[in-house]
Structure 1
Amino acid sequence: MRNKGDILLISCYELGHQPFHLASLSALLEQAGYTPVCIDTAVEPLTARAIRRARFIAISVPMHTALRLGEQIAQRIRQNNPNAHICLYGLYALLNADHLLQEAIDSAIGGEYEMPLLNLVQALENGASIDVPGVHTRTATSGPWVERTPFLVPQRQQLPALTQYAHLQWNDELRVAGYTESTRGCKHTCLHCPVVPIYHGRFFAVPKEIVLADIRTQVAQGAQHITFGDPDFWNGPTHAIRIIQAMHQEFPDVTFDATIKIEHLLKHRHLLPEMQANGCLFIVSAVESLNETVLQRLNKGHTAADIATAFALTEQAGISLRPSLLPFTPWETLDSYIDLLDFFEEGHYIEHIDPVHLSIRLLVPPGSTLLDTTESNEWVGELDGAAYTYRWQHPDPHMDELQKNVAALAERAEGNNVDPLATFFQIKASALTAQGRDFSIEDALQRYGAHKVLPHLTESWFCCAEPTCNMSAPQTITLSSRKVANDK
C-alpha cells in the first residue's frame, strides 16, 4: 500500500470546485506515509492503467450527482480490477450503502471520513479484520463516524489547476475561484437535508489557521475568489467573521461567497456589513419555497415573510442573495408555485436564481429524516435503491407533469445558451398554461425591464434534489453539462 498508485482517490463531481474531499483525505494519508494518486474525473481521464495498478480505491460522493457518477466508476473499476478494494465515502455513500454493497463496492463511510478511511487502509495493509468503526461493509455494519477529525491543511498539489474549474463571473470579468470549508456538519435539522441523518445536529469548527493556510495555498495557485462551502457558514458566526477578517487583511483583493440560512441572516443581521466590508459578494441560502406548509414540513426555521426580509437586508448591505429552491414537494401547489414565480418577478429578483432551480424535485434517500415523520406513510412510496431514493407522486398529477416540463425547459435553455430571463418567463408560461391561463413572454420581458448584473459562479449550487436530466459519462462531463444536473 506504500507505493505510489497503490491508493487511488477519485472525485467525480464537486459542483465545479477543485475537489476538497480529495485534498483533505490526501493530507492525512500522506502524513501517515502513504502516496495516494488523485484523479478528478470531472476534468481529467481515469485511465485503465491507473485502475489496474491500484489496490485500494476511494471515491468521493458528497452529493447525489456524485453518487450516480461514482457508482458508474465503481462498476468500471470492478470490471478492470476485481481484486481492488473499492470504498465510497461521503454523505450519500453511507445512506445508500445497502444498495451499493450488493455489487459495486466493498465499503462505505459517512460523516468525518478521514480517520475511518485511514484505519481501513491500515487494516487492509496489515491483513487484519476490516471491522473498523465508521466503516460499513457487507459483514460489518457501522453508522456514521461523527468524531472530531485531526484537521490538516488540505493537500492540493496533485489536483488539476484551479483554472479548470468554475470561475466567478462579475460583470464582464471571469475570476479564478477556490473553495474551502470552515466547519463541517450543521447544528440545524432541516428534515430533507442529507447532512442531518449523518451528523444529527452536530458540527465541528475547522481551526482558523488551517482554513487560512488552505486559502493561502489556493491564492498562490491563482485564486481571486473563495467559496466557503460549509452547510452553514454561520453555524459559528464568530469563527466565520474571524476567518474572513484575517483573509481580507492578508488578501484585500480576494472576494468570497458563503452559504447561510435565512434564519441566521435575520438573527445575525448586524454581521452583514462586516461580511461586505471583508469582500463578500453574494450569499447562497436555501429558501426552498414560499409555501408555509412546505417550510413547516421541511422544518426550515423561516417563513415567507422572513425570505422577503432577508432579500431586503442583504440588498441594503450590498450583498447579493442567491437562493436555492426546492419547488416540487408533495405539499407545493400549482397556486403556490406561481406565487413563487410572482415573488421573483415582482421583486425584480429573477437574476438572483438559475432557472434550473425552478425544476428541482424532492429527493428522499434511505435514512432521510423525513421518513421519521408521522405523516410520511401518506406520501412516501417504495424505495428505488438503484435511484437512491424513495419514490413519491404528487397528489396533483399536473404538478408532476409541470416539473418534467420545467426541467426540460431549463436543460434545453442551458444547452442553447438562452437568456435566463427569457427562460424564467417560459417556465412561468408553462405554469400558467397548466392553470388554463394565457401569458405573453414578450410582454413580460418588456415589463420587467433591464437586467441586473450580479456576481455569481459559473457553476450552480445544488444540494439534495432528485436529478431530472441525463448525465454524460464521467470522462466527458463539462461545466455546462454539470450545471443542469439537479442535485437537491
Structure 2
Amino acid sequence: MAVDRRGVNAPNGRPDFRQPGAILLLSCYELGHQPLSVALPLATLRAAGYQPVAVDTAVQRLDDETIARARAIAISVPMHTALRLGVALGQRIRAVAPAAHLCYYGLYAWLNRDYLLRHIADSVIGGEIELPLLGLVQALERGTSVDVPGVVTRERPAGPALIRFEYPVPARDSLPGLRHYAHLVAGERVVPAGYTETTRGCHHTCAHCPVVPVYRGRFFAIPRSVVLADIRQQVAHGARHITFGDPDFLNGPTHSLRICRALHEEFPDVTFDFTARIEHIVRHRDLMSEFRRLGCLFVVSAVELLSEPALQAIRKGHTRADVIEALRICDAAGIALRPSLLPFTPWTTLDDYLDLLQFIEDEELIEHVDAVHLSIRLLIPPGSALLEQPDVLPYLGPLDEANFTYTWRHPDQRMDALQRRVAAVVEQATREGWDPYEMFAVVRAAAYEAAGRRAPSTPPKRRTKRPEPPRLTESWFC
C-alpha cells in the first residue's frame, strides 16, 4: 500500500479519501455562530464512511499540515464577507496543497461561480449542497470525471441542487464550543447562543436577495425531529438561547410553531429569536403572542428602506405603513423588532436617508438597529435578480469580478460620499465601543451636513416607551 507525500494512504495508486483528514471542510465567517453549513455536510460525509476534518477559521487556526493532508477541500461561502475571506484562504490552499481538489459551496459561491472556476476553484456547488458534495467526493474517490447533479466544474455546467434529501442531525462535536461564538445579551442575562435552521430557501423573490437566484421561490423544510435533535445537542453544550437563521422563519408558520412548542416544552428556560418578513409579521399577527409565550425575545426583519419607490424597485413586498404595523404588533406581543436596513441604493435620496434616521429616532429604535446597518450599500452580485429589473440599468456599471459585485453609481454624488463617511464612522464606533446614541448623533450630523442643512441641536431622543432590546454580541452583516 503506497503512501503519498501528504501521508494519506493510496491503494492502487489512488488517494484514499476515507482516511482521517483526507477531506477538509472549512468555514470562514457565519455571523458569529457555530457553522451549520459545515456541521450538516460533515454529518452527511460521516454517514457515508468518510472522516472529514472541520475547521472554522473565524475562531480556529488552520495549519499548513492540515491543509497538506487533504485531498478534497470544501469552503463554505454563504455570504459576501465569507466569500472574500474564502478566496484569500483558497489562495493559501493552492500554495500549500496544489493537487487538492478545491470546492466552494453556498449562495455566494454559486453566484460567483464563473470567477471562482476561472481563478481558483475546481468545482462549485449551490442550493442543497450535502448530496452533491458527497457525490463529488465519491467521483474523486473513483477517479472518474465529476458528473454530479448540482456540481459545476470548468468542464461541466450544472444548475443548483434543488433536491430533497434525508437531513442528518448536524455533526457539531468537532467544532469549537459555543463559548467562542455569539452570546445573547438580555438585560443582565448573558448566555451562549446556539444556531439552527428549520427551512432553507424562500418562497419570496425580493430582487436584491442572494437566495432568489439559487432557489427561485422554493424552500425546503428540515424535519422537526432533526431540528429538535440539533437544538438538544446545543443545549447540552451550554446554549440557553437559539437563533433560528432561516431566510424567513414564517415561510412555514405551522412547522415553525410546532418546533417552538416542542422546544419550550422540553427546555422552558431556553429563549429564541428568528428572522421574518415584515409582510409575514403582519399576516401572522395572531401567532406573535404565542411565540413570545414560548420564549421569543426578538425578531429580525429586513425593513431595508422606507422609501416607496425604492421598496418597489427591490420588490420588497411591504410598505412604510406595514413597517409601522409590524412594530405595533411586536410591541403588543412583547417582542423586540430589530430592523435590518439597506439605506444606500440607486433609488434612495438624501431626503429618504434623513427620513429614515428620523423614523428610527421617533420610534425609539436606535438601540434596535445594529450600527452597521446605517451604512450598508446595495450589492449586485452576478446572477442577481436585480439585473432583470430595468429600473437598475441607468445606474449599473461593469462587473467587478474580483469584488463579486456589479458597480453602480448613485445619481446624487452626495449619497456615495455620505455612505463612505457613515461606513467609516460605524467602523470606528464599533471598534471603540461607542454608545449607540453617540454613534447615531454623529451619523445624523453627517447626513444633515451632506444635505447642506443644520443638524438638530438636541441629542437623539432616548427610549422611554420600550425596554432595552435583547441582542446578540455579533452584529448582523452580509
Please confirm whether the aligned pair reaches a TM-score higher than 0.5, indicating the same fold: yes
C-alpha contact (below 8 Å) 2:45/2:51 kept by paired residues: yes
Secondary structure at the counterpart of residue 391 of structure 1: strand
Secondary structure at the counterpart of residue 421 of structure 1: helix
2:473 pairs with 1:458: yes
2:210 pairs with 1:177: no
2:264 pairs with 1:264: no
Q: Deviation of residue 420 (structure 1)?
A: 1.1
Q: Deviation of residue 376 (structure 1)?
A: 3.0
The alignment yields a C-alpha RMSD, in angstroms, of 1.0
Q: Deviation of residue 289 (structure 1)?
A: 0.3
Q: Deviations over 1:45-85 (max 9, x none)?
A: 00000000000000000111000000110110000110000
Instruction: Pick 1 or 2: higher relative contact order, CA cutoff 8 A, min separation 6.
Output: 1
C-alpha contact (below 8 Å) 1:248/1:279 kept by paired residues: yes
Higher mean Cα deviation, 211-220 or 169-178? 169-178
Q: Deviations over 1:188-241 (max 9, x none)?
A: 000000000000000011000000000000000100000000000000000000
Q: In the alignment, which of 188, 195, 208 is matched to residue 204 of structure 2?
A: 188
Q: In the alignment, which of 97, 102, 106 is matched to residue 81 of structure 1?
A: 97
Distance 2:462 2:254 in 1: 40
Counterpart in 1 of 2:220? 204
C-alpha contact (below 8 Å) 2:346/2:392 kept by paired residues: no
Distance 2:277 2:369 in 1: 16
Q: In the alignment, which of 426, 441, 449 is matched to residue 425 of structure 1?
A: 441
2:419 pairs with 1:403: yes
Q: Deviations over 1:20-40 (max 9, x none)?
A: 011000110000000000000
Question: Normalising to structure 2: TM-score of the pair?
Answer: 0.95
Q: Deviation of residue 149 (structure 1)?
A: 2.6
Q: Deviation of residue 172 (structure 1)?
A: 2.5
- Larger Rg: 1 or 2? 2
Distance 1:385 1:149 in 2: 33
C-alpha contact (below 8 Å) 2:213/2:384 kept by paired residues: yes
2:134 pairs with 1:94: no
Q: Deviation of residue 107 (structure 1)?
A: 0.6
Distance 1:210 1:146 in 2: 19
Q: Deviation of residue 347 (structure 1)?
A: 1.4
Distance 1:243 1:449 in 2: 33
Letter in 2 for 1:457: L
2:451 pairs with 1:435: yes
Letter in 2 for 1:310: A
Q: In the alignment, which of 426, 429, 445 is matched to residue 413 of structure 1?
A: 429
2:258 pairs with 1:242: yes
Could you list the runs of 5+ residues in structure 1 that have no partner in the other structure?
463-486
Q: Deviation of residue 440 (structure 1)?
A: 4.9
Q: Deviations over 1:251-301 (max 9, x none)?
A: 000000000000000001000011000000000000000000111011111
Q: In the alignment, which of 240, 257, 263 is matched to residue 224 of structure 1?
A: 240
Letter in 1 for 2:253: P
C-alpha contact (below 8 Å) 2:186/2:470 kept by paired residues: yes
Distance 1:398 1:9 in 2: 44
Q: Deviations over 1:97-116 (max 9, x none)?
A: 11111221111001000000
2:148 pairs with 1:132: yes
Q: Deviation of residue 377 (structure 1)?
A: 2.2
Distance 2:243 2:149 in 1: 32
Distance 2:165 2:399 in 1: 33
Q: Deviation of residue 374 (structure 1)?
A: 2.4
Counterparts of residues 288-437 of structure 1 (less than 5 Å): 288-437=304-453
Q: In the alignment, which of 131, 139, 160 is matched to residue 144 of structure 1?
A: 160
Q: Deviations over 1:421-449 (max 9, x none)?
A: 110111011000111122256x224x436
Runs of 4+ in 1 over 2 A off after TM superposition: 374-377, 447-452
Could you list the runs of 5+ residues in structure 2 that have no partner in the other structure?
1-16
Higher mean Cα deviation, 182-191 or 166-175? 166-175
% identity of equivalent residues: 58
- Residue 440 and residue 374 in structure 1: after superposition, are their counterparts in 2 closer, same or farther (change >3 A)? closer
Secondary structure at the counterpart of residue 193 of structure 2: strand
2:477 pairs with 1:444: no
Letter in 2 for 1:106: D
Distance 2:320 2:258 in 1: 31
C-alpha contact (below 8 Å) 2:201/2:218 kept by paired residues: yes
Q: Deviation of residue 391 (structure 1)?
A: 0.3
C-alpha contact (below 8 Å) 1:94/1:136 kept by paired residues: no
Letter in 2 for 1:400: D
Counterpart in 1 of 2:75? 59
Q: How many residues align structurally?
A: 461
- Residue 233 and residue 449 in structure 1: after superposition, are their counterparts in 2 closer, same or farther (change >3 A)? closer
